[in-house]
C-alpha cells in the first residue's frame, strides 16, 4: 500500500449553488459517469419516480430541495472521487459553510437564465476566505437564457474571480447546438433528450458537416467567438486556479447529461489533491505519518430504522484504520471504531482503511460535536468550523407531555447536527432554538415528529443576535449576568450566551461592560482550547 499514491489520487470537492440552479442534478450525473449509480434520479419530476441519490431524507424528497449535506464516493479513471452535495437554500447555509472546510475544491453551478444570484455570492465569499479552487458550470443552456459574454462578465464582477472559458456554447435555448472545447479544439453536438447516448463530435471547425449541422449563421458566429476568445484568454494558469484566483468555466445542461463529461475530465486533470489544514498549533500536512481528522457534520437517524447517529470525519493526515484507538482531543479520551463507513448518500459500506481526503462515517454514542478532532495523541484542534449567531429565535412548546423525553432527545440531537442552535434559559429550563432561516424550523418540526414521535410548536421571540460572552474578570461577568439575567442563557455546551434585543442594546452593553467580550461566532472555543 503506497500512501503517497493513495493521497495523490483523491479528489474531494463540494458542489455549491443557489437553489434551483441544478446543483443536485449535476451531482447525480457525475455519479452516473462514475458508475456509482445506474440511473440518475429526478429532483422534481412527475415522470421519473426515482429520487436523487443525494437527497435521501424524506423532507428532501417531498420538497425537492437539499436540506443537508450528503457524501458520495466513487472511482473514476483510477481516481477516488468524494463528492459533497450541499444545500443551496440560504436557510441551510451554515451546513454548507461547514462542509466547505472539509473539501479541497468546489464546483459552482450557475443558472444561465438567472445568472449570479445572492446566495451564489455568499457561497463564493466563503470560498474566497479560504482561497478554495473553483470551477464554474453554467447550466440549463437548453433554455432561453443570458448571453454567455454577459454571464462570464457577471461572474468576474459579482464573484470577484477571473474566468477562463474551457468550453463555449454554440447557440442557446431552442437554438442550442452544443459546446466547443477551446483546448481540445472540437465541438460536441447537443440533442435534447440524448442523456446516456453517445454524442456526435466534430473535430474540424471548417468541415462542411459541422456547418450543415449548426447552420451558416452559427458557423460564422463560432468563428468570431473563437477568434475573440483566443485573443482575450492566454494559456490556463494552474497556479492561479489552485490559489482560488482563476475559475475554469464550462457550459452545458445537467438534466440532459450534456457538458458534464468535459467538466469531469478537466476537473480530474486540474483539481488539487488533499492539502494542508490549520490547527490552533500548526499546519497539518496530508503526507504526515500520524493520523489526524476532524468532524464537520453529524447526522442522527441517517437510517430511521436503526436510529443511528453518524459523525462525518474528514481525514487530514496519516492513515485511518478500523479498530484502532485514537485520541478525542476535546474530551481527552481514546476511542475505537469497529464499523467506520464510506457513503453513497444514505447507503453505507464498512471501510478498513481510509486516507487524507476521504470522509468516513463514525457511529457515535454522543461523544462528538461539530469541530471535534481525532489524533494519534497530539493535542490539536482544527480551526475554521464556527457556529454563527442565529437570525431567528423561537421557544419550543411541547404539545405532548407524554413524549417529553423524546422531544428533549430529538432537539439535542438535531442541535448537535447543526440544524439549529439550542439555548437553555435557566428559568424553567425553557428551550430556545436559533436558526438562520424559517425553513429550518419546518425541517425540525417535521423530523421531530417523523423520527422521534414528538409533537411541538414554536413561539416566536424577538431577539436580534446571540453573543457568546467571556471575561477574564469574574466580578464583571457576575455583575453582567445579574443585571441581564433575563437575557443570559446557556448553549448546549454550557457556554454563557447573551440574547440581545437589538443592535442598539448590544452596542450599549459593549460600552457599559468593557470587561465583557462579545463573540458572534463560536470560534472562541478553539482559542480557549488552544490556551
Q: What is the largest CA-CA distance in the chain?
A: 86
Backbone angles phi, psi at 138, to 5 degrees: -90, 115
d(CA 185, CA 212): 18
Per-residue model confidence (pLDDT) at position 20 = 86
Per-residue model confidence (pLDDT) at position 69 = 52
Cβ neighbour number for residue 336 with a 10 Å cutoff: 9
Question: Domains in the chain, please, with CATH?
Answer: 3-270 (3.40.50.300), 277-375 (3.40.50.300), 392-530 (3.30.70.3280)
- The whole-angstrom distance between residue 385's C-alpha and the CA centroid of its chain comes to 12
d(CA 383, CA 324): 25
Mean pLDDT of successive 10-residue segments in the chain (531 residues)?
90 90 88 61 40 42 44 86 72 70 94 92 84 96 96 96 97 95 94 68 92 94 95 92 97 93 94 94 96 89 64 95 96 94 68 94 88 95 79 93 92 83 91 86 88 92 94 94 95 92 95 94 54 43
- Say which residue the cell 429550518 belongs to: 440
Per-residue model confidence (pLDDT) at position 517 = 93
d(CA 255, CA 296): 30
d(CA 189, CA 203): 11
Q: Where are the alpha helices (DSSP H) in 355-438?
A: 404-417
Q: What DSSP string describes 209-259?
A: HHHHHH-HHHHHHHHHHHHHHHHH--S--HHHHHTTSEEEEEE-BGGGTBS
Q: What DSSP string describes 457-477?
A: EEEEE---EEEEEE-S-HHHH
d(CA 342, CA 477): 46
Angle at the Cα of 15 (from 11 to 17), degrees rounded to 5?
Answer: 160
d(CA 356, CA 362): 16
The answer to whether the CB of 342 falls within 8 A of the CB of 349 is yes
Is the full-model pTM beyond 0.75?
yes
CA contacts within 13 A on the Cβ side of 261: 16
Q: SS in 3 state form for 499-511?
A: EECCHHHHHHHHH
CA distances from 270 to 27, 189, 248, 521 (A): 19, 25, 10, 34
Per-residue model confidence (pLDDT) at position 347 = 58
**Which of 409, 395, 405, 319 lies closest to 360, judged by CA?**
319
CA distances from 470 to 139, 424, 506, 514, 525 (A): 47, 18, 15, 11, 11
Amino acid at each position: 500500500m503506497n500512501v503517497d499514491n493513495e493521497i495523490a489520487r483523491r479528489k474531494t470537492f463540494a458542489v455549491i449553488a443557489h437553489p434551483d440552479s441544478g446543483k443536485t442534478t449535476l451531482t447525480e450525473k457525475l455519479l452516473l459517469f462514475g458508475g456509482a449509480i445506474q440511473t440518475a434520479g429526478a429532483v422534481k419530476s412527475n415522470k421519473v419516480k426515482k429520487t436523487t441519490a443525494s437527497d435521501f431524507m424524506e423532507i428532501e424528497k417531498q420538497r425537492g430541495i437539499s436540506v443537508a449535506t450528503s457524501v458520495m464516493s466513487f472511482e473514476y479513471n483510477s481516481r477516488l472521487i468524494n463528492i459533497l452535495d450541499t444545500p443551496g437554500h440560504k436557510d441551510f447555509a451554515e451546513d454548507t459553510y461547514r462542509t466547505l472546510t472539509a473539501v479541497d475544491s468546489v464546483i459552482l453551478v450557475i443558472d444561465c437564465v438567472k445568472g449570479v444570484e445572492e446566495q451564489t455570492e455568499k457561497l463564493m465569499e466563503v470560498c474566497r476566505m479560504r482561497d478554495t479552487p473553483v470551477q464554474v458550470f453554467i447550466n440549463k443552456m437548453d433554455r432561453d437564457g443570458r448571453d454567455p459574454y454577459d454571464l462570464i462578465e457577471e461572474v468576474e464582477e459579482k464573484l470577484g474571480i477571473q474566468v477562463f472559458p474551457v468550453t463555449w456554447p454554440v447557440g442557446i435555448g431552442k437554438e442550442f447546438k452544443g459546446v466547443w472545447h477551446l483546448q481540445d479544439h472540437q465541438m460536441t453536438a447537443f440533442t435534447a433528450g440524448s442523456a446516456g447516448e453517445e454524442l456526435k463530435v466534430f473535430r474540424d471547425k471548417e468541415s462542411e458537416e459541422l456547418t450543415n449541422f449548426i447552420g451558416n449563421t452559427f458557423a460564422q458566429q463560432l468563428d468570431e467567438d473563437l477568434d475573440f476568445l483566443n485573443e482575450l484568454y492566454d494559456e490556463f494558469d494552474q497556479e492561479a486556479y489552485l490559489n482560488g484566483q482563476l475559475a475554469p468555466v464550462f457550459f452545458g445542461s445537467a438534466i440532459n447529461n450534456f457538458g458534464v463529461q468535459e467538466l469531469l475530465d478537466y476537473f480530474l486533470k486540474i483539481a488539487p489533491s488533499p492539502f494542508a489544514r490549520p490547527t490552533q498549533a500548526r499546519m497539518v500536512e496530508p503526507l504526515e505519518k500520524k493520523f489526524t481528522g476532524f468532524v464537520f457534520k453529524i447526522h442522527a437517524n441517517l437510517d430511521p430504522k436503526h436510529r443511528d447517529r453518524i459523525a462525518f470525519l474528514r481525514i487530514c493526515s496519516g492513515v485511518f484504520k478500523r479498530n484502532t484507538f485514537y485520541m478525542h482531543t476535546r474530551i481527552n479520551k481514546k476511542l475505537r471504531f469497529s464499523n467506520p463507513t464510506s457513503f453513497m448518500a444514505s447507503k453505507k459500506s464498512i471501510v478498513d482503511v481510509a486516507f487524507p481526503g476521504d470522509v468516513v462515517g463514525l457511529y457515535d454514542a454522543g461523544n462528538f460535536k461539530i469541530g471535534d478532532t481525532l489524533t494519534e495523541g497530539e493535542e490539536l484542534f482544527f480551526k475554521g468550523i464556527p457556529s454563527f449567531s442565529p437570525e431567528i429565535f423561537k421557544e419550543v412548546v411541547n404539545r405532548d407531555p407524554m413524549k417529553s423525553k423524546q422531544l428533549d432527545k430529538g432537539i439535542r440531537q438535531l442541535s448537535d447536527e447543526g440544524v439549529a442552535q439550542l439555548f437553555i434559559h435557566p428559568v424553567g429550563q425553557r428551550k430556545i432554538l436559533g436558526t438562520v432561516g424559517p425553513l429550518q424550523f419546518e425541517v425540525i418540526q417535521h423530523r421531530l415528529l417523523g423520527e422521534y414521535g414528538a409533537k411541538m410548536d414554536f413561539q416566536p421571540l424577538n431577539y436580534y443576535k446571540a453573543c457568546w460572552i467571556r471575561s477574564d474578570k469574574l466580578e464583571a461577568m457576575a455583575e453582567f449576568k445579574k443585571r441581564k439575567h433575563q437575557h443570559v442563557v446557556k448553549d448546549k455546551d454550557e457556554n454563557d450566551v447573551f440574547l440581545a434585543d437589538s443592535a442598539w442594546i448590544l452596542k450599549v452593553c459593549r460600552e457599559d461592560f468593557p470587561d465583557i467580550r462579545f463573540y458572534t461566532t463560536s470560534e472562541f472555543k478553539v482559542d480557549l482550547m488552544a490556551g
